[in-house]
A = this chain, B = another copy of it.
Amino acid sequence: MSATPALNATETNAAIAELRALLGDRLTTSLPLREAHGRDESWHPVIPPDAVAFATSTEEVAGIVRICAKHRFPVIAFGTGTSLEGHISAPHGGLSLDLSRMNRILEVNAADLDVHVEAGVTRKALNAYLRDMGLFFPIDPGADASLGGMAATRASGTNAVRYGTMRENVLNLTAVMADGSVVRTARRARKSAAGYDLTRLLVGSEGTLGIITELTLRLYGIPEAISSGVVSFAEFEGAIDAVIETIQSGLPVARIEFLDEVQVAACNRYSKLSLPETPLILVEFHGSEASVAEQAERFGAIATEHGGGAFEWAVKPEDRTRLWEARHNALYAALALQPGKKGMITDVCVPISRLAEAVRGTKEDLAASPLVAPIVGHVGDGNFHLIMLVDPENAAEVAEAQRIHDRMVMRALSLDGTCTGEHGIGEGKMSFLEAEHGQGIAVMRAIKQALDPLNILNPGKLFSL
């Protein structure tokens, strides 16, 4: 197999001509559209593809992939472009395959608590559709990402501590493989012991093993009662310890988020809130009225024990919504701290007992650095984010951010954690994937080479061949 696709202008032109014959004006080479499809929400450089295709069905995706395979033309699946590690850039050129027009909700099985969707449906569109049925889909990365993209990057978010990540919430998916064949990975049964878990293999494969075109997702009943609240701490250690004890005690918290004082200040300014600008825990409980009240009481006691201040409830739904919207906009709030700068964003995830150590290490690095960099995290999972504001033109600043980033990731690995809890590898964390997996990379490579021998699916991502 070729490590990188052997592309030349003749093959590129032939591929584009054949794609245009299939797709008509849903195939474009317009520069603005190509640039928009080579750009995600990260600090990674924009590398536009040679062309952009807008697909409308699984069969059409299969046809597109077959044409690309024939010409060894790379295919990069594109949902909403909200990934954070350069997942959708086109370092080897090729086609950005935009699935956003595959946005039909095909079937809701309310009785089975599942839904069959096309890959381009976004999480917010799905939840808007489900609301009147009393159902919801919990996985909520900050962005209003497409569900196909969320599966491809193994996304999670604030609810993962209770509901799991995309890993746990995809029942099956339909994918177009590198040879254009179409595979449905499983049935709608809640569990199965029938063969290799192709669903979980594709979830998190970042478009390198197959193009996800449809998914069946688990749904949940909207809880009878929901209550949210915030509690502030003088020191971040108290906040983290409160989270650890909450998780260890088995309290079935639905969300438990940490914001450091820098992030709280950013959210206050961006979302017009007036939270005390100290480390803060934002928490939510789901259940019956009685169980939510009981959970809240227990959490309040734990928070107090660890130096938490008064526990403030967001009882009214609109207050709750405002609080969580502020949380979901944390990235944008951080970026607004220093307009014009880019956010070098990273995340790690460690065993929860090592969380305080992991956060402290980065806090100490930042204290000795000129960088402004909020910390925010899904700390119930041991997962936290760092958003370093940098001027991409300032080499010293970029180098300093890279240094702190590298130390944060290597520290997480040394604590038996992972180099990314939810953002993925893309091209941004390839070296850390090697550091994390060692011999496991050889296994990943063998799988990639077996399933995509021409290396046309999102080449140049995850690991080198």
Contact = CB atoms under 8 A, between A and B. Distances in A.
For this chain, the copies found in one complex come to: 2
Given A196-B204, A204-B195, A352 B112 contact: yes
B439 A192 contact: no
Given A191-B167, A291-B291, A109 B351 contact: yes
A332 to B, nearest CB: 21
Interface in A199-258: 200-201, 203-205, 209, 220-221, 223, 244, 247-250, 252
A447 B113 CA distance: 32
Contacts of A423: 193
Given A187-B416, A194-B418, A425-B194, A223 B201 contact: no
A450 B444 CA distance: 10
Interface residues on A, range: 35 or more
Contacts of A244: 111
A167 B438 CA distance: 23
A292 to B, nearest CB: 10
A308 interface: no
A198 interface: yes
A190 B441 CA distance: 20
Contacts of A424: 193-194
Nearest to A378: B191
Interface of A: 109-114, 153-156, 160, 164-165, 167-168, 177, 181-198, 200-201, 203-205, 209, 220-221, 223, 244, 247-250, 252, 287-288, 290-291, 294, 349-353, 381-383, 412-413, 416-425, 429, 432-433, 436-444, 446-447, 449-451, 462-463
